[in-house]
Chain A
Amino acid sequence: MTTATETADLPHWQTEPHHHEEGASTTLGFWIYLMSDCLMFAVLFACFGVLGGSYAAGPGPQDLFDLELVALNTGFLLLSSITFGFAMLSAQAGRKGPALGWLAVTLAFGLAFLAVELYEFHHLIHLGAGPQRSAFLSSFFALVGTHGLHVAFGSIWLVTLMVQIRQHGLGPANLRRMTCLSMFWHFLDVIWIGVFTLVYLLGTV
């Protein structure tokens, strides 16, 4: 590791192989984990694509889905994405208070999303449209439930991260953890785009 003044004097090809920033391999490794998670979601999407029309003479998407609730949930996730972005910017600027505040707002939106989704699942099961009703509903609950579980675990991670930041400040380790969680959180929003498009909108169009 050379100092900044030495680096400026050298051609960059001489310093490049030796310069590896703390945490660089962690974010790459976490990205590869997210890609493998993406493959798992792709399998669930393919399942839904194949089984989504098998209603077993039961209720279909037109009878069950409430698009206004889905729009509300989409808004919650989207808002939580931008508030996490603001939390990252505050953390990178070394401002602990605003970072914690934005993380709390993100957590609130995540919990609101989970509450609406749990209400929807409860409503469906109450109607007799539980996962055991038809192949369509099995694949629906598997796909949307897996996404919801990810959001739930992301929220738990968010709480633990907030405790760690409160206790140990915004050190390199906590910034690295926060970067990973932000990738995880934005990734879940990307998956949700697929869910609301392929499951809810195309199901009711």
Chain B
Amino acid sequence: MSASHHPHPHPRPGDLDREPGPAGAHAGGHDHGSYRSYATGFGLSVILTAIPFWLVMGEVLEGRGLTIALVLACALAQVLVHMVYFLHLNTRSDEGWNFVATIFTIIVVVIMMAGSLWVMHNMNANMMPQMDHEAVTGFGS
């Protein structure tokens, strides 16, 4: 996948004696993962999925704010787990362009999401009271 010259730090036993393969799939030394890394990612994902579902469905915590914070933290951690173990994102593949594109996307997403929520929340908070749904329906009667 990549022309990187940083070989896998832990070459698996099969890598060295294997033929180049039908496509020379390993020619670039790119980290394609292994059964072990996929299993690790899967295990972490199951844990990071089970915790938020348990918190919300079991109504474990009293504080709503704390539950929301924990659920969001689990989601963020799981996104990172998927990026690393399933999508094999690192700073080396494709000479770092994958990583640069991802960072750029994250910046745009954060600006867009935070900006939209902030502006629209401000607008709702500053609406004149008679613009409320109930006030409008009561207006003509």
Contact = CB atoms under 8 A, between A and B. Distances in A.
Name the prevailing secondary structure of the B interface residues. helix
Given A39-B108, A39-B109, A197-B71, A22 B116 contact: no
B67 A205 contact: yes
Contact of B3 (A20, A171, A196): A20
Interface residues of A, number: 61
A186 B101 CA distance: 17
A21 B2 contact: yes
Interface residues of B, number: 57
Contact of B105 (A39, A71, A176): A39
Given A49-B113, A86-B38, A170-B23, A190 B79 contact: yes
A23 B87 CA distance: 17
Interface of A: 12, 16, 19-24, 27-28, 31-32, 35, 38-39, 42-43, 45-47, 49-50, 56-57, 67-68, 71, 74-75, 78, 81-82, 85-86, 88-89, 91-94, 169-172, 175-176, 179, 183, 186-187, 189-190, 193-194, 196-198, 201-202, 204-205
Interface of B: 1-3, 5, 14, 18, 21-28, 32-35, 38-39, 41-42, 45-46, 49, 52-53, 56-57, 64, 67-68, 71-72, 74-75, 78-79, 82-83, 86-87, 94, 97-98, 101-102, 104-105, 108-109, 112-113, 116-117, 120, 133
